[in-house]
Each structure stands twice: as C-alpha cells, then as structure tokens.
C-alpha cells in the first residue's frame, strides 16, 4: 500500500472520530451517551497497543505469560463495588479531576504531594505514550510499500503529524470547560467506539489466522507441539516464573486503579455509580474476548514467520504475508484505535494534573487574583492545551531518541512499576486514617529512588552503552548492591525484582512514618473524611474543621475570578438557602470555606483552591484535639439524632401504652364502682325484704290472714337464701382467682356431664317453654373437675335461658374434638350480646342490660367464675354473636394424660 | 278523701310488704315494676305520692322523676326515693332533681309511713 493511501485512511478515520466526539458532545444528556455499556467500553482504554500487539509478542516468545496482566483487572473488577465506588463518591463530592488531586486532597490539600504525583505520572506515562507512537510508526512502516524508508527529519515523519493531530483532538474535546471535573462526553464516546473497533478487528484477524490460514485451534496446537521448547510455552517454570505471575497480577491490579487514564475514565468520567454494577462483569468479559486468539495468532506467527524480533507484529504480518492487504489494514486501524484512545485519555489526564497540580499552584495564583474571570478561564484552558501539546511532544521526543532500544513490553512494565509507587498512599490512605502526608511523600520518593536504582538507571545505561560495570558488579563493586540482585535476591526477573524492593521500601516508609509522626489538623480532617466516606456524605460541608475569620465578600471576590459573577451569585445563593442563612451574611463559616474550596477545585485543583481561599481569610491554627473533638461531635450529633429519634418513638409507644393502660384502669375503676353499687344493692335488697317483712309481722295485731303471713315468711326465707348465695359466689370467685381452690380432677365422660347439667335445668326450661337440645352421643373421656364443669355448664345454660324469649327459644349444647382439645358450645337464639359489651362479658360484675327478665338476678359473677374455672383447667372460653340471632359461648378442655 | 300512692320497685318481696302496709292504712295503692310501667300508670292516675326505687331495668328512678316533674298535672304529687344507693352524691342528685324525700334501704316501714303521712298533710 502506498503511504498516501494509508495517510488518507488515517485522516478519514480521525475525521470520523472527530465527528463521533462532536455528536456525543452535542447530545451529552442522551441515554446513548450515558449508559453502562459506554462506560464499560471506555474502561477498555486499558487495552493499548501493548495489548493489541504486545500480548502476541509475549505469547510467541514466552507462552501464557501474557495472561497475568489481564488477571489483575479481572480480580480487581468485583472489588470496584467497594473501592471504586468509594473513590467515585469522594471525587464527585470534591470535584476531583485527577489522581494527583485525589491523593493530595487525602493528605490535606498537600501542594507538594500533588506535584510529586504529577511528576511521577509524567515519568511513568510519557515513555508509555511514546511507545504507542512507536507502535503506530512501526506498523505504518510495515504496512507501507517503502519498507526501508527511515525518516530523516521530524517533518517527513508521519508519526509526528499523527501525534500533532491527536494533540489537537485531545485539546479540542478535553478543554471545553475550565472545570476539569466536568465530563468529557465526546472523548468518552469516541474511546468506547474505538474499543469496539479494536476488539472486533482483533477477533476478525484471530478467526482469519486460526480458521483460514490454519485448520482451527487444534491444528495450530498439534503443529506447535512438534517444535522445540514447546512445553515452556504453556506451563509455569518454577518459582521465578510463579513470582513473576504474582507480581504481574499485582501490578496490573494496581494499574487499573492508579493509571491516570483509568482514573480519568473510571472516576472522573463516571456518570452514575450504578454503571459500576454492569461494568464489574462486562469489563472482564471484554478482556476475555480480547485474549481468546492471542495464543493462536502468536503460535501461527511462530510457525509461519518464526522471527522472534518481529513477534509483536505477527497479527499484521500474517495477513500481509498471505497477500490480504485489506485485513492488514483493519488490523492496523484496530491497533491505531488502541493507540488513539490511550494517547488522548492519558494526555488529557496528565494535562489536567500538570495544570492543576504543577503549573497553577506553583506560579499562576497571584496572577489569577488580579485578572478578570474570562481571562482566567482562557488562561486555565490555555495552560491545559499547552500541557497537552507539551506532553505529546515530550513523548515524541522520547520516542525518537530512546524507545528504539526497548521493547513495548518492558517499557510498559517500567511505567507500571513507577505508577505503582502511588499504591501505598492511595490504597492504605483510603482505609487507614493514620496515613500522613509526610509518610506518603517519603514513601513515594523512596520507592521511586529504589525503582530508579534497580530498573530505570540500569536499563538506560544498557540501552546506551550495552552493558556496564554498574549493572554487572554493583555500585562500588559491592555485590550486595547489584541493581538486579539487591541484597542477593537474584532469582527474580528484572522488573519483578524492582517492583519487590521498591514496594517493600515504599510501604515500610509509609507505615513507619505514619505511625511515628502525626499530620497537621487539615490532614487528619481529610483522612477522617476519606476513610469514613459513607458517613461523610451526611457530614458534607460540616466535616471540614476550620477556625478563623473571613468575610463573605472576600471569598466572593475570589470565586468571581474563576466562576464569573453570575455563577458565583448563583452558587452562594444556593449555599445560603441550603443552610438557611440570610442572603446578606457577612462572616463566612467553615461550611462556606469548604464549599468554596470545592467550587474552585474543579478549575484549579484542590491545592490551589486551598491556597487561594487561605489568602483572603485569616485562618487560625486548630489543634489536633479540637479537630478530633469537632469530628467526633458531628459524628455524635448524627448518632445522637438517630438515638433521639429512636428514643422518642419508643417514648411515644410507651406513652400510648400508658394511655391505654390508664383508660383500662379508669374503666376497671368504673366497673368496680358499678359492682360495689350492684353488690350493695344485691345485699341490701334481700335484707330490706327480710327487715320489712319482719317489721310487718312483729306489728301484726293478728288480723293478717294466715296465707299472707305464710307468704311473708317464705319471702324471708328466699331472701336469706339469696343473701347466702351471693356471699358464697363472691368467696368462690375469690378462691378460684387466687388459686386457693384446688381442682378435684378425675376421668369423666363429657356426654354424661352435659346430661347432668341439662337434666337439672330441663324443668326450668320447660317452665319457660324453651327447648334444650343436646344431640351428641359420642363419649369423650377426659380429666376435669366434674362439679366445676357442671357449674360452668349450668351457668352458661341458665344464662342462655335468661336471654331467650319464652316460647320461641332454642338452646343447643354440642361438643366436638378439635386438635387436642374438646370444644363445648352452648348457643341460643336470643337477643345476643351488644357488640360493645363483648370484650367485658367475662369480667367480674358484668351484667348485661339486655336481659329478658325485669330484674338482673345474677350476682354478676357467674361468667367470671366460669372463665376462672376453664382457665384453671388449661382451656379457653369465649363468646361470639351468631350470624342470625343469639350468641354462642364456647369453651375448650385439653386432653391430658 | 282516700289518699293514693304509687309504689315503683322491681323487688316483689319489698313491694308486697309496702302494699300490705299502705292498704292497711287505707291508701289506694298502685304498683309498677319499673319506670316504664310507672309512667303508664301516671298517664292515667294522679297519685298523691310516689315511692320510687332508683336501680331498675330500662327506665330508672331518676328518669321517672324527670318525667313526673315535666307533667303539670303531677305538680302536687310528692316523690320519695326509696333506694339502696346511699352515697351522699346519689342523695344530692335525687334531691336536686326535685324529690321530696330520699330514704335508703334497708328501711323501717314505720319511718316510711311517717314520712309519707307528714308530706301529705
């Protein structure tokens, strides 16, 4: 293919990307842009040219060693729900726009730490970007006809123009707003689109190689197994290889969180937390699909081409070798897509860090305070744009001068080792509130120094000079200081060795310094908020501890410089409304300070925001004790509020219960009064009768007829009986309810007992012309006190007699077996019980107002005594009104052995 | 002229004693077993005195007294409560409603007679 043709394709492809990004920006709120699939696909920015070409290279030369770099992210994915969600939550609340901002904020807006993280990321990522450029350049050359063509100056190097175009793309879509924490929908959607392309094209070439060039997977495997050293390509090789796997998995695990481009896509560009839920399975699936054909393309390359030096480009060379230029072009475009997304997102992330954590806090702050807001916005955007070009040009320069010496794979690993130095301060700081800024800075510096000593310096020396005394013999000729076998550890691969030592030193410094030195109050403050991020969303603006004097107008002036008048007014109005403060509040409080810092963070980074706000307020040093106290207080307030709420609900419940109990008591009291009246009445009535009759008889002067005298005497007798019955009932009930009356239990047949009860009342019923039915003939033997049960039955039946109308009345006595109990029912067709009286029927002294006879004859104790008797037998007694007319009294007796 | 009296009580034994006593004193005696029966009788007759129990089913003594007080033709009828309710509050209530006397059970027949005769003079 001719150069011009390829360049034409590249330009068309880039134009397509611009178009997609443009459309996405235009429809930034559409659901086609904001969904979990786009989020997951954009996460696949993880798969760079390293994945696309490099994996095949490793697979060809060292077998399945290409896998662990994908196992790390796969292991990390389920943890996203815990770790990444926490990071996203904190970042959104603080308008964090990069990992440098994140780490610097965790350690109290530490300016130096933010700058250090930025420099470290530049160190790790710029060579990585240059690698991508190298891949474009090399694949371009392979594809073009002029195989031996080597650029003589940058102006006739196509890679340079591609790099510039990428910078334009990143600069255009990456700096639409001054607030870097805003979403970049155009870039995200184009990255997602590229992720689809690179996967599809890679799968196409995989299928082509496996099924068209060869006869399927087993064909490749069979042919490969006949070659030498085959076994080493698909198995582990002892301890060294095992550790190498472990280390690569760990490294890639960290990278998925720490790489600036991953942080940019997974945290800053995250639209909704819930997209994570889909991403945790879709992203591993994507990686799996990507790796299905790697080993077959590699082995096919080994079999057909067999040149380990170009193994990385087997995917491109195989179709070319077989004359399929179209497929080769697709492969090239897939690889090119991987490059573009990585370069664009990385430079975007790095440029934000460079501007917000390096350039602005270290040089431009004073200037900003004097400028107009529009000018400041232009300044900030320009700083970012220049940063983007600067980074890409730096990467290009690096590529031209250095990267020829190293393979894609090893430079990628170096980048990972450098970036992984952020891991201790990032991960441990997220869950351990003791981690301090001093510890983070020294840990990172020490880890970086170790990785320089053991990896970067030796590699650079070797790249330039071939081999060196330093590498072979160690510093000053001391074998313990050999950079690749530090302290005699000589059984690890070079990067694994560097990773091991740098991490060890880094973590050690971090932990020891955190434990021995305490950070300042601000640091502890943010540490507390980050570690406790779940409660934090409740603490919100209150969480920042701040003491001092500040005027709202001063703060407003600063905000206006960056947000403009309108946005500042709106933001402050919202703030005052939210906290119920008057709109003309004069003095700023901690909440406003915190709120303003957050507003500025997106534009100029957290460290700068802190410095700017601090410049207009008179802040007093707050002691650590105060910080902890205030934090504890705000936490306690929340806890107390909850406790208070619980308590008050409980109190309400108790007071309701009390109210109810009180009502019951009042009712009981009334009942008692009524009963006493009844008892008095009942006692006095026969006494009155006796007394009056006695008086009449005494005064009688013998003119009273004999039968009248007889009737007076009979009345006196009846009244005496009535009196003694009443007294007996009261005492009986008292005995039963206090348990002083023992049941005389024996085995009896219920049929016989009911017969006895009916017999004693048949006459009474017949007198009133009421029919008494007891039709059951079954024998049930159970243990009970027959006299007492007779008392109950007699009571219930005579009650029924009282409630039924003479001549029309029917009373039924029935019984049945029911689940371990015998249930006896006495039902009538009388008036029934008023519904409102139903609950009180068994209370002592209750007397229905609904009786047929004129005068209540009972003591009001009959049913109360019956209930007591049944209770004492371990049964239950209750009453229901019948559907039609009358009531049914039922009681149960247990069958016990 | 023959004096008349209405005895309102739901206790037959007591009614029997009082009936015997007043008939012997040459009273015309009416008997009612509760308030509603009493009202029926009072719609036809105008007795000189009413002996009234309080605790009775349906219409009690208080309601019966209110009925008597509402009737112009019964303005000269004397009402004597004869009840087991002996609390001071009950007595006050009875007198406040316009009863002429408040006697409690158990009572002395002689006393009841004396009170009635005094009222009717």
Q: State residue A852's pLDDT score.
A: 39
| 3-state per-residue secondary structure call for A573-599 | HHHHHHCCCCCCCCECCHHHHHHHHHH
Instruction: Describe the crossing of helices A99-106 and A521-531 by its angle, rounded to 10 degrees.
Output: 120
3-state helix, strand, coil in chain B (%, to 5): 45, 20, 35
Selected residues 678-717 of chain A with any CB under 8 Å from a CB in chain B: 680-681, 684-689, 691-693, 695-696, 699, 708, 711-712, 715
**Residue in A527, A526, A597 with CA at minimum distance from that of residue A558:** A597
**CA A854 to CA A397: how far, in whole Å?**
118
Instruction: From residue A526, give the alpha-carbon distance in Å to each of A45, A88, A435, A638.
Output: 31, 16, 11, 19
What are the structure tokens assigned to A740, written together? 């002083």
Interface touch B105/A855, C-beta < 8 Å: no
Residues of A in contact with B55 (CB under 8 A): 677, 681
Give the C-alpha separation, A540 to A149, whole Å.
61
What residues does each domain of chain A span? 3-23+45-408, 535-620, 626-737, 746-894
Q: How many CA atoms lie within 13 A of B63 on its CB side?
A: 12
At residue A855, the pLDDT reads 45
- Mean pLDDT, rounded, for B25-39: 92
**How far is it, in rounded angstroms, from Cα A250 to Cα A120?**
19
CATH of domain A626-737: 1.10.287.130
Closest C-alpha among A604, A606, A589 to residue A91: A606
A854 contacts in B (CB within 8 Å)?
10, 33-34, 56-57
Question: For residue A831, which residues of chain B lie inside 8 Å, CB to CB?
Answer: none
Question: What is the predicted pLDDT for the residue at A856?
Answer: 45
Q: What pLDDT does residue A877 have?
A: 93
CATH architecture for residues A746-894: 2-Layer Sandwich (3.30)
SS3 of residue A395 by DSSP: helix
Q: What confidence tier does A243 reach under pLDDT thresholds 50, 70, 90?
A: confident
Q: What is the mean pLDDT of residues B6-28?
A: 91
Of the two residues A605 and A95, the one the predictor is more confident about is: A95
More confident residue, B35 or A641: B35
Provide the 3-class DSSP secondary structure of residue A704.
coil
Contact B57 A688 (CB under 8 A): no
Q: In chain B, what is the straight-line distance between the N-terminal and C-terminal CA atoms, in Å?
A: 12
**Residue B16 and residue A715: Cβ atoms within 8 Å?**
yes
Considering only residues 835 to 864 of chain A, which have any Cβ-Cβ distance to chain B shorter than 8 Å? 849, 851, 854-856
Q: What are the Cα distances from residue A450, in Å, to A444, A488, A501?
A: 10, 15, 7
Q: DSSP character for A96?
A: -
Closest among A140, A125, A128, A184 to A13, alpha carbons compared: A140
CATH class of the domain comprising B4-120: alpha beta
Of the residues B12, B53, B106, B108, the best mutation for testing chain A's interface (the one with the most A CB atoms within 10 Å of its CB) is B106
Per-residue pLDDT at A849? 52
Of A25-39, A729-743, B64-78, B104-118, the range with the lowest mean pLDDT is A729-743
The reply to whether residue B57 touches residue A851, judged by beta carbons under 8 angstroms, is: yes
* Residue B65 Cα, gap to closest chain A Cα (Å): 19
Token pair 């392979």 is found at: A142
pLDDT tens readout for residues A410-429: 677 777 788 889 999 998 88
CB A341 within 8 A of CB A13: no
Interchain CB distance below 8 Å, A718 and B13: yes
Write down the pLDDT at residue A854: 41
pLDDT digits (tens, 9 = 90+) for A138-192: 888 888 755 544 555 555 677 788 888 888 888 887 777 777 677 888 888 999 9
pLDDT at position A36 is 87
What distance in Å separates the CA atoms of residue A209 and residue B80, rounded to the nearest whole number? 124
User: Considering CB atoms only, which of A681, A699, A855 is closest to B84?
Assistant: A681
Tell me the β-bridge partners of A810. Answer: A771
CB contact under 8 A, B84 and A715: no
- Per-residue pLDDT, A447: 93
Quickly tell me which residue has 């410049």 as its tokens: A615
Lowest-pLDDT choice from A603-617, A674-688, B60-74, B95-109: A603-617
Phi and psi at residue A814, to the nearest 5° = -135, 160
Average pLDDT over residues A439-462: 86
CB B57 within 8 A of CB B10: yes
Residue A448 has which token pair? 């970086």
Most confident of A352-366, A593-607, A792-806: A792-806
Identify the residue with better confidence: A463 or A784. A784
pLDDT at residue number A196: 92
Burial classification of residue A90, based on how many CB atoms lie within 10 Å of its CB (0-12 exposed, 13-18 middle, 19 or more buried) = buried
**Which two tokens mark A200?**
């599809």
> Hey, is the C-beta of A726 within 8 angstroms of any chain B C-beta?
no
What is the per-residue pLDDT for A154? 57
Q: Which chain A residues touch B16 with a CB distance below 8 Å?
A: 711-712, 715
Give the closest of A681, A684, A692 to B17, CB-based.
A692
Q: What is the mean pLDDT of residues A824-833?
A: 88
Interface contact flag, A680 B11, Cβ < 8 Å = no
Question: CB–CB of B14 and A689 under 8 A?
Answer: yes
User: Which chain B residues are Cβ-neighbours of A705 within 8 angstroms?
Assistant: none
Strands A810-818 and A771-773: parallel
pLDDT tens column, A475-524: 666 666 677 667 666 667 777 888 888 999 999 999 998 888 777 767 77
Q: What pLDDT digit, counting tens, does each position of A815-826 carry?
A: 998 888 999 999
Residue predicted with more confidence, A267 or A369: A267
Average pLDDT over residues A736-749: 83
pLDDT for res A793: 92
Asked if A688 lies within 8 A of B110 by C-beta distance, the reply is no
The most distant pair of C-alpha atoms in chain B lies apart, rounded to whole Å, by 37
Give the pLDDT band of residue A703 (cuts 50, 70, 90): confident
Compute the nearest-CA separation of B111 from chain A (Å).
11
What is the rounded average pLDDT of the residues A13-26? 88
CB atoms within 10 A of CB A673: 12
pLDDT number for residue B113:
93
Which two three-digit tokens encode residue A539?
């603490």
Which of B18, B84, B109 lies at the smallest CB-CB distance from A684? B84
Query: Which chain A positions have a beta carbon within 8 Å of B107's beta carbon?
Result: 688, 691-692
Which tokens belong to A257? 């969180």
Say yes or no for a CB contact (<8 Å) between A708 and B20.
yes
The pair phi, psi for residue A812, each rounded to 5°, is -110, 135
Say whether B109 and A692 touch across the interface (CB within 8 A). yes
Most confident of A175-179, A357-361, A866-870: A866-870
Alpha-carbon distance B119 to A235, whole Å? 128
- Domain-by-domain residue ranges, chain B? 4-120
* Range A3-23+45-408 classified under CATH 1.20.1730.10: yes
**pLDDT for residue A622:** 58
A124-148: average pLDDT: 79
The size of the A-B interface in CB pairs under 8 A is 71
Distance CA A835, CA A849 (A): 12
Contacts of B14 in chain A (CB under 8 A): 685, 688-689, 692
Q: What is the mean pLDDT of residues A392-412?
A: 72
Residue whose entry in the numeric block shows the structure tokens 């005195």:
B49
Token pair 């964090």 is found at: A96
**Cβ B105–A688 below 8 Å, yes or no?**
yes
Rounded Cα–Cα distance for residues A825 and A251 (Å): 82
Mutation to test the B interface, candidates A707, A855, A856, A857, most B Cβ within 10 Å = A855
Residue A897 banded pLDDT, cuts 50, 70, 90? low
**pLDDT for residue A298:** 87
Residues A542-579 have pLDDT tens digits of 556 666 677 788 788 777 777 778 888 888 888 888 77
- CA A603 vs. chain centroid, Å, equals 29
- Residue A211: pLDDT over 60: yes
Question: Using a CB-CB distance cutoff of 8 angstroms, which residues of chain A are in contact with residue B86?
Answer: 680
Range scoring the smallest mean pLDDT among A116-120, A473-477, B29-33: A473-477
- The arithmetic mean of pLDDT across residues B34-39, rounded, is 90
What token pair was written down for A335? 């690889």
Give A108's pLDDT tier (boundaries 50, 70, 90).
Answer: confident
Segment A338-354 shows an average pLDDT of: 90
Mean pLDDT of chain A: 81
Greater pLDDT, A63 or A390: A390
- Which residues share a beta bridge with A894? A821
């Amino acid at each position: 293919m001719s150069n011009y043709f390829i360049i034409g394709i590249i330009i068309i492809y880039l134009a397509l990307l611009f178009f997609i990004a443009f459309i996405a920006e235009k429809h930034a709120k559409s659901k086609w842009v904001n969904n979990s699939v786009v989020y997951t696909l954009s996460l696949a920015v993880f798969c760079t040219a390293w994945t696309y070409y490099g994996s095949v290279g490793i697979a060809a030369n060292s077998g399945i060693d290409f896998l662990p770099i994908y196992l790390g992210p796969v292991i990390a994915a389920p943890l996203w729900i815990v770790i990444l969600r926490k990071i996203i939550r904190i970042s959104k609340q603080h308008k964090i726009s990069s990992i440098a901002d994140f780490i610097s904020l965790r350690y109290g807006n530490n300016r130096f730490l933010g700058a250090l993280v930025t420099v470290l990321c530049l160190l790790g990522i710029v060579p990585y970007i240059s690698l991508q450029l190298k891949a474009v350049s090399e694949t371009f050359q392979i594809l073009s006809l002029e195989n031996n063509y080597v650029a003589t100056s940058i102006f006739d190097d196509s890679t340079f123009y591609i790099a510039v175009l990428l910078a334009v793309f990143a600069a255009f879509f990456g700096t639409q707003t001054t607030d870097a924490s805003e979403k970049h929908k155009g870039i995200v959607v184009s990255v997602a689109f590229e992720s689809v392309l690179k996967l599809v094209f890679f799968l196409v070439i995989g299928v082509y190689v496996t099924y068209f060039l060869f006869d399927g997977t087993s064909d490749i495997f069979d042919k490969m197994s006949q070659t030498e050293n085959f076994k080493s390509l698909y198995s582990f090789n002892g301890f060294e290889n095992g550790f190498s796997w472990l280390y690569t998995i760990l490294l890639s695990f960290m990278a998925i969180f720490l790489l600036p481009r991953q942080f940019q896509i997974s945290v800053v560009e995250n639209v909704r937390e819930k997209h994570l839920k889909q991403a945790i399975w879709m992203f591993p699936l994507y990686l799996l699909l990507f790796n299905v054909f790697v080993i077959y393309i590699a082995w096919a390359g080994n079999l057909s081409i067999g040149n380990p030096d170009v193994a990385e480009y087997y995917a491109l060379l195989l179709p070319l070798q077989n004359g399929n230029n179209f497929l080769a072009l697709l492969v090239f475009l897939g690889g090119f897509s991987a490059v573009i997304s990585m370069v664009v997102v990385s430079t975007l992330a790095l440029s934000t860090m460079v501007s917000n954590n390096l350039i602005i806090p270290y040089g431009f702050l004073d200037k900003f305070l004097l400028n107009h807001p529009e000018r400041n916005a232009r300044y900030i955007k320009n700083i970012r744009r220049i940063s983007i070009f600067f980074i890409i040009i730096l990467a290009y320069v690096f590529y031209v001068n250095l990267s020829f010496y190293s393979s894609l794979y090893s430079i990628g690993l170096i980048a990972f080792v450098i970036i992984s130095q952020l891991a201790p301060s990032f991960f441990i700081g997220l869950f351990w509130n003791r981690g301090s800024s001093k510890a983070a800075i020294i840990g990172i510096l020490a880890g970086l120094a170790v990785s320089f000593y053991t990896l970067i310096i030796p590699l650079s020396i070797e790249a330039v000079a071939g081999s060196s005394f330093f590498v072979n013999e160690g510093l000053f000729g001391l074998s313990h200081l050999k950079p690749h076998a530090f302290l005699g550890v000589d059984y690890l691969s070079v990067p694994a060795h560097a990773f091991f030592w740098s991490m060890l030193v880094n973590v050690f410094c971090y932990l020891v310094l955190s434990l021995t030195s305490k950070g300042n109050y601000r640091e502890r403050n943010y540490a507390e908020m980050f570690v406790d991020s779940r409660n934090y969303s409740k603490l919100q603006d209150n969480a920042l501890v701040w003491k001092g004097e500040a005027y709202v107008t001063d703060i407003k002036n600063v905000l206006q410089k960056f947000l403009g008048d309108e946005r500042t007014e709106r933001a402050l109005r919202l703030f005052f409304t939210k906290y119920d403060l008057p709109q003309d509040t004069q003095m700023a409080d901690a909440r406003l300070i915190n709120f303003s810092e957050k507003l500025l963070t997106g534009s100029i980074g957290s460290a700068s925001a802190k410095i700017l706000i601090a410049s207009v307020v008179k802040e007093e040093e707050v002691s650590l004790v105060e910080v902890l106290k205030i934090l504890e207080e705000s936490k306690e307030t929340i806890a107390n509020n909850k406790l208070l709420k619980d308590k008050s609900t409980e109190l309400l419940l108790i007071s309701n219960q009390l109210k109810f109990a009180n009502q019951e008591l009042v009712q009981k009291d009334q009942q008692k009064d009524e009963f006493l009246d009844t008892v008095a009445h009942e006692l006095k009535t026969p006494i009155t009768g006796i007394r009056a009759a006695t008086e009449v008889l005494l005064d009688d002067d013998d003119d009273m007829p004999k039968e009248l005298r007889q009737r007076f005497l009979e009345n006196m007798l009846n009244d005496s009986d009535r009196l003694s019955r009443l007294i007996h009932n009261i005492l009986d009930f008292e005995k039963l309810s206090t348990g002083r009356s023992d049941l005389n239990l024996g085995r009896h047949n219920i049929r016989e007992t009911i017969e006895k009860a009916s017999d004693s009342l048949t006459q009474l019923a017949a007198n009133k012309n009421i029919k008494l039915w007891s039709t059951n003939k079954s024998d049930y033997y159970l243990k009970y006190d027959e006299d007492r049960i007779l008392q109950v039955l007699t009571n219930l039946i005579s009650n029924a007699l009282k409630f039924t109308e003479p001549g029309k009345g029917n009373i039924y006595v029935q019984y049945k077996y029911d689940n371990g109990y015998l249930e006896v029912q006495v039902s009538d067709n009388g008036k029934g019980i008023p519904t409102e009286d139903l609950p009180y029927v068994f209370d002592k002294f209750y007397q229905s107002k609904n009786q047929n006879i004129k005068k209540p004859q009972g003591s009001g104790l009959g049913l109360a005594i019956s209930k007591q008797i049944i209770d004492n037998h371990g049964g239950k007694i209750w009453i229901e009104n019948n559907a039609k007319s009358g009531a049914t009294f039922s009681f149960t007796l247990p069958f016990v052995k | 002229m023959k004096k008349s009296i209405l005895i309102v009580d739901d206790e037959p034994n007591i009614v029997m004693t009082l009936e015997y006593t007043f008939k012997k004193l040459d009273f015309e005696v009416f008997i009612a077993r509760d308030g509603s029966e009493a009202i029926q009788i009072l719609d036809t007759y105008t007795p000189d005195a009413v002996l009234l129990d309080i605790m009775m089913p349906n219409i009690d003594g208080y309601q019966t007294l209110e009925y008597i007080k509402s009737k112009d033709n019964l303005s000269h009828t004397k009402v004597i409560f004869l009840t087991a309710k002996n609390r001071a509050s009950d007595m006050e209530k009875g007198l406040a409603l316009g009863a002429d006397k408040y006697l409690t059970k158990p009572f002395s027949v002689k006393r009841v007679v004396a009170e009635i005769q005094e009222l009717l003079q």
